[in-house]
Amino acid sequence: MKNPIGEKRILFLTIYLGELVLLLWPSGRVKADELSELKQQITEQNQKLQELLERLEQLEARQKLKEQSLTEKIEQVAEKQKEPITLPDSLKWAEKVKISGDFRYRNQHVDAEEVGSVRWKKGRTRHRIRTRLMLEAIVNDEWDVAFRLASGERDILADEGDMFANPTSANQTLKQNFSSKDIWLDLAYFNWHPAAREGLNVYGGKVKNPFYDIGKGQLIWDSDINPEGIAAQYQIPLGQRDTLNINGGGFWVDESSTGVDTSLWGIQGYLKHTIGNPDYILGGISYWDYGNIKDKTDKFGILAGNTADPSGTKWASDYDICEVFGEYGTKCFGLPVAICGDWVQNLVAVSGEDTGWLVGAKLNKAQEPRSWEFFYNYRELEADAVLGAFTDSDFGGGGTDVRGHKFGFTYQLAKNLQAVLTCYFNENDRSSSSRDLDYRRLTTDLKFKF
């Protein structure tokens, strides 16, 4: 930085020396009185110069003080910027609350073959939306609570007049003269994660499904199912390469004021072994036991392919379901690849239609903008292999006694924004026809997260 005061001092000295030279420059004989006058002028000039130099020194000292003060203020501001911003006591609760959600816009076209001379129904195209808003709050170091609201279409029980939302879908169809849409309580639970038992989470209420769904195939559980009761997840590291996961729960499927309740108890365990970056292998087994579901009236009309009793309104079978699954992950041409398989059997089915299976694969991962992902699976699900009410609601129109292909492609348009195309080429044997009926579905989604 230039010093203007120092520059002025040099200027004054230069002017003074110049004047002195001019005065002393020989111009002929100098008289005594002229010499005396010249000395007097030089003395006066020296005094003035001395006064100017003193003033310049004073100004220079003041400038240094100002620069020092300014530097101190800049340093103080920089230190304050490093300090974390703290909320006032009246807003401390905001630090303990997290809000998140998602919105999906869907265009859906379905063609389903029907029995009779006309093989195909007139295709149906719908525009649908799904929105969900989640709030999670920290109670203390070991307890959290969470709530989620979600869209969903209402229905009414034929025999009781009660209103309910579809447990396997939060979609709302855009219809009915711009009518307002329903919002439901989709999740409401506590989460206990004791510090003394790292890796353990215990949930209670209307909870997220605690069971691992291999390849997200939804062979047994639709991804929108949120069971109600008590659940637990426990992750146990077994060395640097192995992790054991144990999931379980007890749930109330239906409560009855006059009879026994319908319940569900389940346990699942799986082990993930890291072979080496990025190779891994995963395998596990699950078991679920539905209590008091046989001969239970299907209030919601969702037998969905399961065998009914002679009245056609009750489950003819009990459901004790065993599942075995596995997955292998690696890289191919620099892209992550995962291959999975899933097998399930109802051990107490009243019919021989008691088995289901799925094979699938996923290529790449849609995560960063302009990245993509492709997945495929094929499945066969016999009539009484699983409870038709809770399996994938899109595959074959939902329910059991179906088989076929599912393709999907996801493209990451931007951060927290995806475009998804999904195709279903399925067959079902739920009619009285002597042959399977074809089912086609094409969905195009825009998914937003925040």
Residue 57 belongs to what H/E stretch?
A: helix 32-82
Residue-level length of the chain: 450
> Dmax of the chain from CA atoms?
148
Instruction: Report the interhelical angle of 4-24 vs 32-82 (nearest 10°).
Output: 170
Where residue 55 falls (left for φ over 0; alpha for ψ -120 to 50; beta otherwise) is alpha
Q: Please write down the HEC assignment for all residues of 89-108.
A: HHHHHHHHEEEEEEEEEEEE
pLDDT in tens, 270-294: 999 999 989 999 999 999 999 999 9
pLDDT in tens, 60-84: 888 888 888 888 888 887 776 766 6
Are 236 and 259 within 8 A, CB to CB?
no
Which tokens belong to 273?
Answer: 């072994």
The pLDDT of residue 94 is 82
* Whole-angstrom distance, CA of residue 272 vs CA of residue 244: 7
CA neighbor of 264 nearest in space, from 286, 235, 297, 236: 286
* Whole-angstrom distance, CA of residue 88 vs CA of residue 83: 15
pLDDT category of residue 428 using cuts at 50, 70 and 90: confident
pLDDT in tens, 351-379: 999 999 999 999 999 999 999 999 999 99
The pLDDT of residue 28 is 47
Average pLDDT, stretch 233-251? 97
Are 220 and 400 within 8 A, CB to CB?
no
Helix/strand/coil for 8: helix
Would you give the DSSP letter of residue 297?
Answer: B
Bond from prior residue into 84 cis (ω within 30 degrees of 0):
no
Task: Check whether 112 has a pLDDT greater than 80.
Answer: yes
* Whole-angstrom distance, CA of residue 138 vs CA of residue 106: 34
CA neighbor of 131 nearest in space, from 97, 100, 176: 100
Residue 203 is which amino acid? Y
Task: Check whether 86 has a pLDDT greater than 80.
Answer: no
Contacts of 316 (CB under 8 A, 6+ apart): 294, 295, 306, 307, 308, 309, 350
User: Strand pairing partners for 234?
Assistant: 200, 246
The pLDDT of residue 200 is 98
Helix/strand/coil for 447: strand
Contacts of 222 (CB under 8 A, 6+ apart): 167, 168, 169, 390, 391, 392, 393
Select the more confidently predicted residue: 195 or 162.
195
CA R_g for the chain: 40
* Whole-angstrom distance, CA of residue 381 vs CA of residue 220: 9
pLDDT category of residue 37 using cuts at 50, 70 and 90: confident
Please state the pTM of the whole predicted model: 0.79
Would you give the DSSP letter of residue 160?
Answer: T
- Mean pLDDT for the chain? 88
Helix/strand/coil for 22: helix
Task: Check whether 435 has a pLDDT greater than 90.
Answer: no
Average pLDDT, stretch 196-221? 97
Are 413 and 402 within 8 A, CB to CB?
no
Are 242 and 274 within 8 A, CB to CB?
yes
Average pLDDT, stretch 122-139? 94
Task: Check whether 58 has a pLDDT greater than 50.
Answer: yes
**Range ranked top by mean pLDDT from 20-34, 208-222, 430-444:** 208-222
Select the more confidently predicted residue: 30 or 343.
343
∠ Cα 180 392 251 (to 5°): 85
Task: Check whether 339 has a pLDDT greater than 60.
Answer: yes
The pLDDT of residue 301 is 62
Which tokens belong to 51?
Answer: 């006064």
